[in-house]
Structure 1
Amino acid sequence: MPPRPRVPLVLCSGIARTEALAALLLRASPGTAVVHHDLRDIGSGVVRRRILLRGRDELTPLELAHGCVNCTLREDLLPLLRRLARMPQVDRIVVRLDEAMEPEPVSWAIRNVLVGDRPVSDDVELEAVFTVLDCATWLADVTGDDLLAERGLHGSPEDERTVAQVALSQVESADVLVLAGAAPDAWCAAKSSAVLDRVAPSVPRVELARTDAAGLFAAIPADARRGEVTDLHGALLRGAPPLHPDCGIELLRFTAQRPFHPERLHEAIDLLLDGVVRTRGRAWVASQPDVAFWIESAGGGLGIGHAGPWLASPDGPDWADVSPERRTLASLRWDPVHGDRAQELVIVTDQAAPAEIESALRAALLTDAELAEGEAAWRGYPDPFGDWHEDPCEETEEPDRHANAANQKDETL
């Protein structure tokens, strides 16, 4: 008897209104199972799991040894997906993610974390990632600086992510954006569209009130990511985002082929926290020349960490072991001395002036005299980043809004 084909799996994410999308998908087929883990009491080590299948509504409180998203994935969601996939009455699984969960770490876990001796991707096939946007609040979410914890949405007691960081990550991971509700006015609608055009330009958008399940699946593009994990050394611009200003929203692509001075970068980086919707990209810091820094910002939250070694680093990966996209990008900018080391940041601004940000970043690069000193001298520069860096450097009464790791899929898992 041939093995059963893998069961299609759909991830539904969003800061709000994901229940309506999950209900739409549930109604479309009697063989659909909907799974939801409510993390609101995770700080007490309790997660409430709900499973909807063929008219049954099963709510189970789970007590976890450690209250975190990681435990929820490893101890319950992944084994549950395997069990559901092997039930003959299940022909599709819909995972309605908690508001604090980003799709990319979940898809990574499905493909890489072993349950027994095999990953769950042997039993399920990630069909699509749908992200719901509440049109009434999404723009305020991604341009504000609220912490998840301030809204009771944090995924663990130590979760210091901003709402903007999570909401934008959910959008960037989506295969289809599902618009729910209505913007409060025409200006908000136009500005929201301008932001989406720049952070997710190639992702189709459908209105929840005007579609059905068939329409959602028909909207999935042929080149959909389907949970593909971001290559931190890959292209930063997916699709073709507009380069002209729209409703005050602009896109700045900063590139350079000389390193940043660590102290001057430390000073300049504060500009990414005021009037900036999103920052993503790689940085080459003179004091740590063998590793690429990954920088992300959103809503007053900043993540600075390591994206792994450059190809030209002594312990860098072999060309054959990296993606074709990374090999192509490295070949295009290869320097005979410094190899693929380079700066590349994509910054979406709202109230900030792109020219001021670019000027500050240019001023943070090494001067010709510093460049001539060479790598041995650079490694001795005072480095405020250290191995890991937290900002602000001085204690204040305000909560620290800066994340301490750059690669959020590693941070979550």
Structure 2
Amino acid sequence: MAINRVGVAVGGLVAVGLLCLQWYKHGKRKQHLTSSILLGPTASSESSFNRGPELGSSQYQTPIFSYEELDEATNGFSTSRELGGGGFGIVYQGKLRDGRVVAIKRLYNHNLKHVEQFMNEVEILSRLRHQNLVSLYGSTSCRSRELLLVYEFVPNGTVADHLHGSRAHDLALSWPIRMSIAIETAEALAYLHAVEPQVIHRDVKTSNILLDSSFHVKVADFGLSRLFPLDATHVSTAPQGTPGYVDPFYHQCYQLTDKSDVYSFGVVLAELISAKPAVDTNRTLHEINLSNMTISKIQNCQLEQLVDPILGYQSDWEMKTMITVVAELAFRCLQLEREMRPTIKEVLEVLRDIESGEYKTKKVVEADVPVKEDASLLKNALPYSPDSVTGRWESRSTTPPTSE
């Protein structure tokens, strides 16, 4: 009897073992099938400039790089080659076999959201040609072992770096350079809003505005951008973007328009004036968001408290006049009601007039309502982009916005 019991026990263990092995193999097959559906078969030997299939465009095709060449270009994606990172990947400096120095974005993983982001950026950038937009040199295939985007290398960091980041101590951004940055960024956005189909960037911010060695602008990072259908007044989509820059109307109503980029650009103007980050939890409660702080200082005639001290706002009358007019323009861009914001084309025209000296306050604040009336309206509807995407959003309220 004891021997029989031992035999039954051993037989049971063997059966359980076989069942576990079968389950493991089934799981591996399912995982492989899921990966194959998502990414397709692995491609590890594409030629550096082999033209892949069109990525959503009948006009442009994107050069395909092999994973091996880009791995070699970055010395195995060495940490010493890292230029920075964001929500979807790390950017590395690399040198291609043909001698070009490039920036290579490496997406963190292969989940569906990142594959869509990868395809979206390739599709949009393959359509665009403008001197103030970063150029896409190519990418790996979407079937490659890793999703990699290859851009022109822009060597002088970002506007955020120079205003309040790692390069701020250089004090390199004089007012004329800041004006040039504003104009060139507006030119890039005006181009995006004028092409057909229209492109809404959706993540305009100083850390996405790159600078070359001569401080000329290259707007980057089109992963969140949207192609706007012809003849559409808006696109209904869940809000995405960076806290402090996101259009409150877009967040409230889930309606994306080109005026959403205008709001974000208004925050960029405020940063250029103040050299302060868009969100800073070390500031007082009601000034955590720079957009909120800017509106408050303008309404209360305290602009001098906002302006970067190195600009000479108090000592140079011409400088004071120019900064004041740019602040009034930012004020218009930051209004809660999108209909009250100028188009980016109008913003560009005003900035060019300011730079040339052919500006007048009347021209800048020209709108359907006077600036004083605008200010009165905004006291009851502060434009406020929160410091947290999960925080409470303020709209029409007579009480100051709070942070959560």
Larger RCO, structure (CA 8 Å, separation 6 or more): 1
Fold shared, TM-score > 0.5 on shorter chain: no
- Relative to its length, the structure with more helix (as a share) is 2
Write 1 or 2 for the structure with the bigger share of strand. Answer: 1
| TM-score, normalised by the number of residues in structure 2 | 0.31
